[in-house]
Structure 1
């Protein structure tokens, strides 16, 4: 009997993904452990392995398909020559998933093609979980349409029976309405303006190209919008002398050369932040719903730029790890991040973040907090500056570091203490390796 291959959940929070590429074709024989496909989640492209052996009888979801819900049947596996039809339930499951997501735009809608609701006193039936009346086709069949498409069609008086849907199973979605809906701005509304991701941009006659947003870019847009809208940021900046740290780095690299390890300034700053978080535990926290979570270990998420976006691999227990261990782990994590090979537990979590833009010559910047974390350290370029040392004006290598703190969870005085300890550790680096 044929076996259904379903869209896997590759992380605890994954609800849907993009079937980026099939690594097999119909008729191929596969064994347990063989790679079947590449699945794109919101942060990485991961490989989907076979757990059984057999012949690929039918591929039900074409590569490049977006928004494939977890649990959707994507292929059938069985014995060669076995006849099989696509399961009828598969499209319905995906449709149900999308309807649920669109029915609650206020909670989940930052990354979706969302439009303001028409002005109504009553809440639409779809948002209440009540099945909306079916719109019959001319032949008596029900019109399949998303709740958003139904609302816009109702507001603009559009007859859905005359529109061909491009969604799963011929389902009508917002994009199918096109200019008939008058655009998002045409729907009257009392609610706040739509988020930037939902707005339509008219480039006019300027030469341009259009790129479809990746799952990663959608997630970045949603999370950054949430962070700036919901987290009251407070920013604290200190100037830090780097001369002693640079000298210690040079000496340590000379001793580590035979082991093939080369410490970066960033490796040492990760260690400094980890130690500082343990010395000022009031900043190693997360703000929850009616509770404050206090962490007993400093897991530092490090911002890494990759093609198409940003990802934050985690140095677990940075406060206790040696500099050589941090350097080795960071190099390996960064390489796999750029290849899209990180596992979810390697970039989800962390207790605080560090973002370094010093290599670009940036003098100072304020980083956006990565929720549910409550702080992020922004590192700028080290440069030669006039600096008062022992009551005399000298030239020193100085960088600016700015901490962004969630003021709901961290008081300004505690944030200032963390910045003070971080500065002392970097200016006297033996204190973090002792």
Structure 2
């Protein structure tokens, strides 16, 4: 007997999914455990593994299209099975759903003829009823957009929409303030150079690896920074999980280095490289981008001198790291040429006051200006 496959909920916050790729086509045999499709959620692109066997008889959504969780994704049955009655029932249910939208008969007829989805039309009639002029107005606006010269549009991906929601919530719920500091980076450069001299090409340590280790060590000294806010209490985390902001095509993703304070520089380096590669190819798993307690955003490789970041809630702070730049510096009352790296700590003022944030920055500065100390 044919079985309907529904759009799965692949993360706890997923409301809709986009089929990036079908790995099977209609008529193909499928077995339990096969990867039927690649589905983009609000967090990552994941393989969808089916738990039934049979023949793929129907595909309910094309590649690149989006549908809600629990909407029909596919139908699997035995070869030659008649599923017309199932498809008819699905279409009937969809029509009944559409009928719940208040729309005049003439407006509904016009929308069907033109090919407009009435879910996208805002009604101006009584109780939000869609009338003739609403369809005409919608068609006119869309026609104008299509005729616009050199105008391109990109439909928001599920990941992009989730990022937008997350950042908007953070920016307007957490009162941000910023602490700026400069790191004398001469010893940091020398420390990395000496480390990499002893390592193979595949094991090179980056400045970002050292920064993450220093951030973790500083959090051990200041557990009151390694916290989260909710409306009833402050949560002090017993573990130190560092999120690393990574740019991807759809925006930003934050893979997490868990228990970073307990890992060596080499372990951190290998883990970051692996997770960055899988983040950019959308192969990272949801559990690998969850439960961070602090986040680092580094734009130093793009020659950005300094910047501020929006806190990655439920974290209460995020460190922004700029590029190491050659600058005149004052040492022993003399002007010399040195290397300066600017950092910014964004803090949630509901939990972290200026003194706490400054004390944390002071410890981090000490670690980075004498990085051999992060190894002890």
Calculate the TM-score normalised by the size of structure 1: 0.76
Structure-1 separation of matches of 2:145 and 2:241: 43
Q: Deviations over 1:349-404 (max 9, x none)?
A: 20111001111111111111111111100000111112223443322211100000
Pick the structure with more helix per residue: 2
The farther-off stretch of 55-64 and 23-32 is 55-64
Equivalent in the alignment of 2:174: 231
Give yes or no for the alignment of 1:154 onto 2:133: no
Using the TM superposition, give the Cα deviation of residue 208 of structure 1 relative to its aligned residue in structure 2, in angstroms: 2.8
Residues 9-24 of structure 1 correspond to what in structure 2 (within 5 A)?
Answer: 9-24=9-24
The structure-2 alpha-carbon separation of the partners of 1:178 and 1:20, relative to structure 1 and needing over 3 Å to count, comes to farther
The structure-2 alpha-carbon separation of the partners of 1:363 and 1:178, relative to structure 1 and needing over 3 Å to count, comes to farther
Give yes or no for the alignment of 1:86 onto 2:87: yes
1:336 to 278, 287, 297: 278
Contact 2:101 2:129 in 1 (8 A): no
Structure-2 separation of matches of 1:247 and 1:305: 28
Q: Which runs of 5+ in 2 are unaligned?
A: none
Structure-2 separation of matches of 1:308 and 1:53: 34
1:322 to 250, 264, 275: 264
Give yes or no for the alignment of 1:294 onto 2:269: no
SS of residue in 1 equivalent to 2:261: coil
Q: Which runs of 5+ in 1 are unaligned?
A: 100-131, 164-175, 184-200
The structure-2 alpha-carbon separation of the partners of 1:219 and 1:26, relative to structure 1 and needing over 3 Å to count, comes to same
Using the TM superposition, give the Cα deviation of residue 219 of structure 1 relative to its aligned residue in structure 2, in angstroms: 2.0
Q: Deviations over 1:226-259 (max 9, x none)?
A: 222221101001100111122111111122227x
Residues 48-197 of structure 1 correspond to what in structure 2 (within 5 A)?
Answer: 48-66=48-66, 68-84=67-83, 85-86=86-87, 88=89, 137=105, 152-154=124-126, 158-159=130-131, 162=132, 177=135, 179=137
Q: Deviations over 1:83-132 (max 9, x none)?
A: 22237368859998xx9xxxxxxxxxxxxxxxxxxxxxxxxxxxxxxxx8
Give yes or no for the alignment of 1:241 onto 2:184: yes
Q: Deviations over 1:29-87 (max 9, x none)?
A: 01222221111112322111222221111112222221x22222211112111122237
Q: Deviations over 1:283-332 (max 9, x none)?
A: 11111122111111111111111122111111111111100000000000
SS of residue in 2 equivalent to 1:62: coil
2:301 to 352, 359, 362: 359
SS of residue in 1 equivalent to 2:262: coil
Structure-2 separation of matches of 1:34 and 1:412: 54
Structure-1 separation of matches of 2:316 and 2:96: 36
The structure-2 alpha-carbon separation of the partners of 1:222 and 1:390, relative to structure 1 and needing over 3 Å to count, comes to same
Using the TM superposition, give the Cα deviation of residue 22 of structure 1 relative to its aligned residue in structure 2, in angstroms: 1.4
The structure-2 alpha-carbon separation of the partners of 1:76 and 1:156, relative to structure 1 and needing over 3 Å to count, comes to closer
Using the TM superposition, give the Cα deviation of residue 155 of structure 1 relative to its aligned residue in structure 2, in angstroms: 7.4
Structure-2 separation of matches of 1:418 and 1:92: 58
Equivalent in the alignment of 1:409: 351
The structure-2 alpha-carbon separation of the partners of 1:182 and 1:369, relative to structure 1 and needing over 3 Å to count, comes to farther
CA RMSD of superposed structures (Å): 3.2
Structure-2 separation of matches of 1:251 and 1:91: 70
Contact 1:278 1:296 in 2 (8 A): no
SS of residue in 1 equivalent to 2:194: helix
Equivalent in the alignment of 1:216: 159
Give yes or no for the alignment of 1:368 onto 2:284: no
Higher RCO structure (Cα 8 Å, ≥6 apart): 2
Structure-1 separation of matches of 2:6 and 2:345: 44
The farther-off stretch of 86-95 and 316-325 is 86-95
Structure-1 separation of matches of 2:89 and 2:291: 38
Calculate the TM-score normalised by the size of structure 2: 0.87
Using the TM superposition, give the Cα deviation of residue 19 of structure 1 relative to its aligned residue in structure 2, in angstroms: 1.8
